[in-house]
Structure 1
Amino acid sequence: MTLPLLILRPLDGALQTEQRARYLGLQAVVVDPLFTVEPIPWSYPVPEDFDGLMLTSANAVTHAGDCLKSYRALPVLAVGRATAQAAANAGFHVSETGTSSGQQLLDDLQADRCRRLLWLAGEQHSALDPGEREMTVVPVYRSRAIALGEKAVACLKQETVVLLHSARAARHLVAELERLHMEPGPHHILAFSAKVAAAAGAGWKSLQVADRPDDESLLSLATRLCQGE
Structure 2
Amino acid sequence: MRPVIVIRPEPGNAATVAAARELGLEAHAFPLFDMAPAPWTAPDPAPYRALLAGSANVFRLGGEGLARLTGLPVHAVGPVTAEAAGAAGFRVERIGEGGLQPMVSALPPGRYLRLAGEKRVPLAMPDGVEVDDIMVYAAAGLPMPPALAELLLKPALVLLHSGEAAAHFAAESARLGVERAGVSLACLASRIGLMAGEGWQHIEIAQTRSDQAVLALAVQMCDKVSPEGH
TM-score by length of 2: 0.91
Say what the alpha-carbon RMSD is for the aligned residues: 1.6
Is residue 2:4 matched to residue 1:5? yes
Is residue 2:50 matched to residue 1:52? yes
Q: Of 74, 87, 90, which aligns to 1:89?
A: 87
CA distance in 1, matches of 2:153, 2:122: 37
Alignment of 1:25-44 (within 5 A): 25-26=24-25, 28-44=26-42
- Answer yes or no: is the 8 Å Cα contact 2:41–2:65 preserved in 1: no
1:6 counterpart SS class: strand
Is residue 2:75 matched to residue 1:77? yes
CA distance in 2, matches of 1:135, 1:178: 37
**Ranges in structure 1 where 5+ consecutive residues have no aligned partner:** none
- Answer yes or no: is the 8 Å Cα contact 2:111–2:131 preserved in 1: yes
Q: Cα deviation per residue 1:161-196 (whole Å; 9 max; x = unaligned)?
A: 100112222121121111112211111111111111
Aligned residue type for 1:78: A
The aligned residue for residue 143 of structure 1 is 139
2:181 counterpart SS class: coil
Bigger drift between 36-45 and 165-174 goes to 165-174
CA distance in 2, matches of 1:8, 1:151: 13
CA distance in 2, matches of 1:118, 1:40: 17
Is residue 2:221 matched to residue 1:225? yes
CA distance in 1, matches of 2:12, 2:177: 28
Quote how far apart the aligned CAs of 1:149 are. Answer: 2.0
CA distance in 1, matches of 2:173, 2:131: 38
TM-score by length of 1: 0.92
The higher-RCO structure (CA 8 Å, 6+ apart) is 1
CA distance in 1, matches of 2:204, 2:173: 19
- Answer yes or no: is the 8 Å Cα contact 1:32–1:151 preserved in 2: no
The aligned residue for residue 21 of structure 1 is 20
Q: Cα deviation per residue 1:59-102 (whole Å; 9 max; x = unaligned)?
A: 11011102211111111000111101111111211110111111
Q: Of 116, 123, 127, which aligns to 2:122?
A: 127
2:180 counterpart SS class: coil
**Ranges in structure 2 where 5+ consecutive residues have no aligned partner:** 226-230
The aligned residue for residue 117 of structure 1 is 112
Could you tell me the percent identity over the aligned residues? 33
The aligned residue for residue 228 of structure 2 is none
Aligned residue type for 1:137: D
Is residue 2:203 matched to residue 1:203? no
2:43 counterpart SS class: coil
- Answer yes or no: is the 8 Å Cα contact 2:42–2:69 preserved in 1: no
- Structure 2 CA distance for partners of 1:5 and 1:130, relative to 1, 3 Å: same
Is residue 2:156 matched to residue 1:157? no
Quote how far apart the aligned CAs of 1:25 are. Answer: 2.7
CA distance in 2, matches of 1:153, 1:202: 19
Q: Give the paired residue count.
A: 224
